[in-house]
């Protein structure tokens, strides 16, 4: 989630007011995951502002939307207006932010086929080298979905949900299938499975 990058101020009082407000704000997402907005506002002392403007937070898109709809700090809202332009009003009116995105569901059918570099058939249990061994499998989305490695959740780039990686590391092929079936996903999303060795290459389609 790219968001607007950093927000700056040279005013300790307005920073302090934002920080105190943010520390009391919590967001609960569609799967029950909870985050404090204040965790995204960095900790500073008054003397840190002696040399002028400094960055006080670096925010992703979901957090920008929350700030647009809830924050009363003028310097924050001015920053959002400046960066988002015509999209500011769209984000301001956006509703059902915490709801499960339309078309998402668990327990989808998982179709796994060989990738173009595949040398070994995919099996539910792969114990023997060179296919598998004790190394983790890499799971990456071929579409615009990203991963939260804290909650083990895949979400769309524009979904109201934090993410921090494009890769899930799964211990076994059996766990990998279980992982995908537990995800809230729309039909048609494609993933790629890669192992440590050349030839461990598979494609996944969620049905």
- Lookup result for tokens 């002392």: 45
- In three-state secondary structure terms, 178 is helix
**Lowest mean pLDDT segment, chosen from 5-14, 47-56, 123-132, 172-181:** 123-132
Task: Report yes or no on 97 lying in a domain.
Answer: no
Residue 41: count other Cβ atoms within 10 Å of its Cβ: 22
Both 77 and 138 in one domain: the answer is no
Tens of pLDDT, residue by residue over 65-77, are 999 999 999 999 9
Task: Report yes or no on 190 lying in a domain.
Answer: yes
In sequence order, the 6+-apart residues with CB closer than 8 A to the CB of 205 are: 110, 111, 113, 188, 189, 190
pLDDT for the residue 196: 79
Both 11 and 73 in one domain: the answer is yes
Both 86 and 133 in one domain: the answer is no
Tens of pLDDT, residue by residue over 81-103, are 999 999 999 999 999 999 999 99
Q: HSE on the CB side for 197, CA within 13 Å?
A: 14
Both 123 and 81 in one domain: the answer is no
Please, are residues 206 and 107 in contact by the beta-carbon 8 Å criterion? no
Work out the mean pLDDT of the chain and round it to a whole number.
Answer: 90
Residue 46's domain comprises 5-92
Both 114 and 86 in one domain: the answer is no
Q: In the chain, how many domains are there? A: 2
């Amino acid at each position: 989630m790219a968001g607007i990058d950093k927000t700056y101020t040279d005013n300790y009082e307005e920073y302090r007011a934002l920080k105190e407000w943010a520390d009391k704000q919590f967001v609960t997402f569609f799967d029950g995951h909870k985050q404090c907005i204040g965790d995204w506002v960095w900790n500073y002392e008054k003397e840190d502002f002696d040399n002028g403007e400094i960055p006080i937070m670096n925010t992703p898109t979901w957090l920008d939307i929350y700030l647009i709809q809830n924050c009363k700090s003028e310097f924050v809202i001015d920053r959002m207006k400046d960066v988002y332009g015509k999209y500011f009003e769209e984000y301001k009116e956006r509703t059902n932010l915490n709801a499960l995105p339309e078309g998402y569901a668990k327990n989808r059918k998982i179709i796994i086929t060989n990738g173009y570099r595949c040398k070994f058939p995919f099996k539910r249990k792969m114990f023997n080298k060179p296919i598998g061994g004790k190394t983790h499998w890499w799971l990456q989305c071929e579409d615009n979905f990203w991963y939260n490695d804290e909650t083990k959740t895949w979400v769309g780039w524009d979904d109201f949900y934090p993410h921090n990686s494009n890769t899930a590391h799964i211990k076994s092929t059996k766990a990998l299938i279980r992982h995908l079936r537990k995800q809230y996903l729309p039909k048609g999303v494609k993933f790629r499975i890669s192992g440590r060795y050349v030839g461990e290459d598979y494609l996944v389609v969620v049905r």
